[in-house]
A and B are shown apart, each in its own frame.
Chain A
Amino acid sequence: EPEVTQTPSHQVTQMGQEVILRCVPISNHLYFYWYRQILGQKVEFLVSFYNNEISEKSEIFDDQFSVERPDGSNFTLKIRSTKLEDSAMYFCASSEGSATNEKLFFGSGTQLSVL
C-alpha cells in the first residue's frame, strides 16, 4: 500500500535555530497537511495545502511557520526560529481530495526536540 514518508524520524535542535521537516506524500494525492502532537496532548491541525498554496491554517501556524512543495514530490514544513514549546511530534498527511470527503494518509512522524 502506498504510504507517506517523513524524514528525519528524530530531529534535535537548539532554541532559535531553523528546522525543516520533510515529507513525501502519496504520488497522486492533491491535498497535503501538517499536524503536530505535543507529548500527552491531542493531535492538532497546523495547515493544509492545495494547488500550491495554503488553503487553511490554524492559529498555531504563525509567521514562524512556512510550508513549501519545492519540486512536485516533497512537502516541507519550516520553523524559522524554534522555541522550546515547538517540541512535538509532527505528522504529515496527504489525501486525494479535501478532508471533508476523502480519507487522510498520515506519515509516521518526526519527533522534534528543541533544547
Chain B
Amino acid sequence: DAKTTQPTSMDCAEGRAANLPCNHSTISGNEYVYWYRQIHSQGPQYIIHGLKNNETNEMASLIITEDRKSSTLILPHATLRDTAVYYCIAPGGADGLTFGKGTHLIIQP
C-alpha cells in the first residue's frame, strides 16, 4: 500500500460540510484511493473510491488533485452520526488493506 498521511482529528459543526484531507504522495499511477470509516468499534464501512477523476455518491464526494498526490473527502452536510474515524487507503497490489490511525472526525451540535 502507498503510505497515506491524515490529520489525527478534526471538528466540524453539524450541517456544515466536513472536508477531510489525505496526502498520498507516493501513490502509483494505477492505484485507487479508498475511503472507509469506523463508527465506534463497529466494522469499517466503505465510503467511496477514485482513481483520477472526482467521484460522488450518496454518502460523499472525493476530490483528487491532478497530480494524485492528495485527495479530500467531503461530507456535504455532516450529521452527528458522521462522527467516526475516517481512513484514507491506497491498497496498491495488496489483497489486505492497511489501516492507519485515520482522522477522528467529531461533529459538534
Contacts and interface: CB of A to CB of B under 8 A. Distances in A.
- The finding on whether chains A and B are genuine partners in a shared complex, rather than unrelated, reads yes
Contacts of A93: 43-44
A109 B41 contact: yes
B108 to A, nearest CB: 23
Interface residues of A, number: 30
Interface range on chain B (Cβ under 8 Å from partner)? 20 to 34
B92 interface: yes
Nearest to A55: B95
Interface string A104-115: 111111000000
Contacts of A50: 95
Interface stretch (A11-19, A36-44, A62-70, A72-80): A36-44
A22 to B, nearest CB: 15
B31 to A, nearest CB: 8
B96 A58 contact: yes
Contacts of B42: 108-109
Interface of B: 31-32, 34, 36, 38, 41-46, 49, 87, 91-101
